[in-house]
Amino acid sequence: MMTLEKFEEASELVKKVTLNTKLIYSEYFSEQSGNKVYLKPENMQYTGAYKVRGAYYKISTLSDEEREKGLITASAGNHAQGVAYAAKLYHAKAVIVMPTTTPLIKVNRTKGYGAEVILHGDVYDDAYQFACQLAEEKGYTFIHPFDDEDVATGQGTIAMEIFKELPTVDIILVPIGGGGLASGVSTLAKLLNPNVKVIGVEPAGANCMQESLKAGHVVTLPGVDTIADGTAVKTPGSTIFPYIQKNINDIITVDDHELIVSFLDMIENHKMIVENSGLLTVAALKQLDCKNKKIVSILSGGNMDVITVSSVVQNGLIQRGRIFTVSVLLPDRPGELVAVAKVVAENQGNVIRLDHNQFVSINRNSAVELTITMEAFGHEHKNSIVKALKDKGYNPKLVQPKNLY
């Protein structure tokens, strides 16, 4: 059972392995939402995420015999690093089963803490089944990433820190994957102040907790589809589910495209890399129907590999109209390319890629395709460039940019 005494004990213990992630007041998100928004930057932890809290506290509660058997867990990446790091401090063997889709940075960092990493399955649930099988076969002690009261108690220490800094907080936004963080944070928050609202946020393509609350019992989604890999869970925890039912006020879901926008917002306004699961609570701010409230968004982690970062940035720039591609058909005669380039230049478009295809028509004298990818200041500027091309007699068609980086 999660109690105030255990939360207090855990809060003191996790200080040994966590950094003091003080709240950051966000002028940008406050202005955008009409509330007073504070960020809890758990992406700045040594392991890059909050998960070390629950892992370390859980391992501290084990007997020497249980630790000596070796520890095993399944994780999409952040819990893996937390267990690996905590196990290293306790000089215990750690075996981590991770989905094959886990970002490379999370795999390498987990190995860097001395753990044995096994890649198995496409999503967390596949890795979990295999880890349970190995635990039974080899006698390892299993450390569940979320469906464990001790793990959830460790994660809940975040709420203790929030209340110490901002005792008058009105709303706490917390990401939900399997429910460990949300159950811990919401339970302690309600113990400290029954009037505080705790709202869970899930990816729209992996809303297992929302569906479970609707059904009144834990349900398994047929599949998940989201860029928020850390919260791509099909089945939430059954042990912690009653805590969610009791203490979570509401659940909001966020589409992937909103996470992409929030990623750019976070970089531009706070100069921080936050992984997609950690951005759920930022993207959810737009959906809140309130004003002038003190809101804390928990940024759960920041472990993203460079390829993922570049992909998200590229898609974000396209969504914002900062990068776009137009296709125009031209007669194949000297000077036509210069004429188009002049229109673009006069309207302050910056060409970053140009493709000239003479084989779109059998009669290339009548039509060649010119595909131009360029930078703009936003949708309004993009539309003005397209209009200028139309006014000069061209028939530009917007197409999906590709192979930008």
Q: What is the pLDDT of residues 192-246, one digit of tens each?
A: 999 999 999 999 999 999 999 999 999 999 999 999 988 988 999 999 999 999 9
Distance separating alpha carbons of residues 310 and 316, to the nearest angstrom: 10
Task: Show Cβ contacts of residue 169 under 8 Å, excluding neighbours closer than 6 positions.
Answer: 38, 162, 163, 193, 196, 294, 295, 296
> Quick check: 336 pLDDT over 90?
no
Pairing mode, strands 94-98 and 71-74: parallel
What is the SS3 assignment for 332?
coil
pLDDT at 236: 95
Mean of pLDDT values over 52-57: 96
Catalytic-labelled residue, pool 6, 36, 40, 51? 51
Joined together, the tokens standing for residue 288 give 């809140």
How far are the Cα atoms of 122, 223, 271, 276 from residue 132, in angstroms, in the given order? 16, 20, 40, 27
Domains in the chain with CATH codes: 4-50+148-315 (3.40.50.1100), 53-142 (3.40.50.1100), 321-399 (3.30.70.260)
Q: Is 168 left (phi over 0), alpha (psi -120 to 50) or beta?
A: alpha
- From the list 113, 159, 112, the residue with the least C-alpha distance to 4 is 159
Place 105 in a pLDDT band, splitting at 50, 70 and 90: confident
Which residues 6+ apart lie within 8 Å of 269 measured at CB? 26, 27, 28, 29
**pLDDT tens-digit series, residues 353-401:** 998 887 776 666 667 889 999 999 999 999 999 999 999 988 899 998 8
How far is residue 244's CA from residue 238's CA, in Å, rounded to a whole number? 10
Q: What is the per-residue burial (b if ≥16 Cβ within 10 Å, else e) of 246-269?
A: ebbeebbbbebebbbbbbbbbbee
Please answer whether residues 299 and 278 qualify as being in contact, where contact means their C-beta atoms are separated by less than 8 angstroms.
yes
Annotated catalytic, 300?
A: yes
Percent of the chain residues past pLDDT 70, beyond the cut: 98
Q: Residue 144: what pLDDT?
A: 94
For the segment 258-279, the average pLDDT, to the nearest whole number, is 96
Section 270-293 average pLDDT:
97
Give 288-303 pLDDT, tens digit per residue. Answer: 999 999 999 999 999 8
Q: In this structure, is the dihedral angle defined by the CA atoms of residues 205, 208, 213 and 215, taken in order, positive or negative?
A: positive
Residue 365's pLDDT is 60
The predicted structure's pLDDT at residue 363: 67
Active-site option among 186, 294, 300, 382: 300
Neighbouring residues of 204: CB distance < 8 A, sequence distance ≥ 6: 226, 253, 254, 255, 256
